[in-house]
Amino acid sequence: MTPLLDVLRTLVGPAHCLTDAAATAPYLTDWRGRYTGAAQAVVLPANTAQVAAVVKTCAAAGAPIVPQGGNTGLCGGATPLADGRAVVVNLSRLRQIRSLDPANNAITVDAGVTLAEVQAAADGAGRLFPLSLASEGSCEVGGVISTNAGGVQVLRYGNTRELVLGLEVVLPDGQIWNGLRALRKDNTGYDLKHLFIGAEGTLGIVTAATLKLFAKPSQAVTAWLAVASPAVAVALLARLRGVAGDRVTAFELISRPSLDLVLQHIPGARDPLPQAHPWYILVELTDTLAGIDLSAILETELAAAIADGAVLDGTVAASQAQAVALWSLRENISEAQKREGVSIKHDISVPVSAIPEFLERAGAALEACYPGLRIVAFGHVGDGNLHYNQSRPRHDENAAFIARTEEVGRVVHGLVHELGGSISAEHGIGQLKRAILPDYKQALELDLMQRIKAALDPHKLMNPGKVL
């Protein structure tokens, strides 16, 4: 046992400093199974003070540190490199809901609290925490903040960055910055929390957060709609927002291949409509006012859309159970893809108005280069974020196709860049996109990022090999 590991065992207890291969294995591979690294140890501190002590000890020993939450990321951002030098600091034992202030619409929680637990705590106080992801039962607050996660309700409530009021962060030298201010207005200089939101643990370790809460909706109406094209979907979004405004909480685009994978791999999944269509929309309207009939608003507009051919078919959930079933079709797409096999994944964003052009041009370009490939496209039309994934329908041909990930990415990302978009909308950079980031980011932007990194982490010990 090395002196570093001896000290770490003393700090967190022998049971929470893992070095055995079987014990550390679950922490060393990412959710997709794409990246597997090695580490000196996996350390699970119990509170912020222990996190700070662990970081200070690692810094003194020159040991790289990899912060980790629920390990649900999709870009390898929480997986150590293969050199085995790092210490993984997993925050899953930081489990406390520190305070909940309904009058101020704020909740303060430890980084290891799951997103679903934050939602439940808010609901118990008659409030809403709106961030919602397919992995909400296992992803943790620290990871959600570190990747600036988006989810299905960005259209109305914004992404993680817009939901954070304050942070507590352990800096690379082990100091603790307490920025847990539950204020909407604070103009006392630089807003430091934004340095750490979306930084993927490269500038420090988020150990707690104060988050915004909202009034809990008293009603919701959910519908599954068939449309002929993404252009129709974008026009329908504008149409619905014109009559319902911000009551349009979610507006998800789903291609037929996406639905087919869910129907094939997820037990109990059922096609909501009697006939297959090329594209679908999952739309949800919510309101805090019980006196407004959301169902009537949606159904009136959908009847008009069906009459003029914009909507080909559709169904409105008649119960909460039916709404949950419709949402499960959308939320299980990634799981269905995982069960189907490896695919080339892109998490991109373009202006909402450019979504139809992107899908048409990218699909044509990829089909020309790789005839017969399968494109699984779905995502958040309301904020321009698409998950755009490719694979071969035949498993025996897929490995050779996956080996061409880089060239496929050049086709997709080149078009995204041309349309003024981003190669990473909500999944982050991690290891997956680190090498290509300079191709799509201004040199000055990267230089500024490097300067910030050098100022906070001069020894480059925080999550090396990620982002920069």
> Angle 128-131-136 (CA atoms, 0-180°, nearest 5)?
110
Q: Is the pTM of this model over 0.85?
A: yes
Q: Are strands 374-380 and 313-316 parallel, antiparallel or unpaired?
A: unpaired
Tell me where in the chain the CATH 3.30.43.10 domain(s) lie: 3-90
Tell me where in the chain the CATH 3.30.465.10 domain(s) lie: 97-215
The domain 341-433 is placed in CATH, from the list 3.30.70.2740, 3.90.470.20, 3.30.200.20, 3.90.76.10, at 3.30.70.2740
pLDDT of residue 423: 96
In 302-443, the DSSP E strands lie at: 313-316, 347-349, 374-380, 385-391
Distance of alpha carbon 440 from the chain centroid: 21
pLDDT of residue 1: 58
pLDDT of residue 2: 84
Tell me where in the chain the CATH 3.30.70.2740 domain(s) lie: 341-433
Q: In the structure encoding, which two tokens stand for residue 291, read together? A: 């006196």
pLDDT digits (tens, 9 = 90+) for 312-359: 999 999 999 999 999 999 999 999 998 999 899 999 999 999 999 999
Tell me where in the chain the CATH 3.30.70.2190 domain(s) lie: 219-334
The domain 3-90 is placed in CATH, from the list 3.30.1550.10, 3.10.20.30, 3.40.630.40, 3.30.43.10, at 3.30.43.10
d(CA 95, CA 86) in angstroms, rounded, equals 24
Please state, in angstroms and as integers, the Cα–Cα distance from residue 10 to each residue in 43, 54, 73, 172, 223, following that order. 11, 10, 30, 20, 55
Which helix (H) or strand (E) covers residue 413, if one does?
A: helix 405-418
Q: Class of the 97-215 domain?
A: alpha beta
Per-10-residue mean pLDDT, the chain, length 468? 91 97 96 92 98 98 97 93 97 98 98 97 97 90 95 91 98 98 95 97 98 96 97 96 94 97 96 97 94 92 94 96 96 93 93 97 97 95 94 91 94 97 94 94 96 98 96
Q: Class of the 219-334 domain?
A: alpha beta
Query: What end-to-end distance do the CA atoms of the chain give, in Å?
Result: 32
pLDDT of residue 34: 86
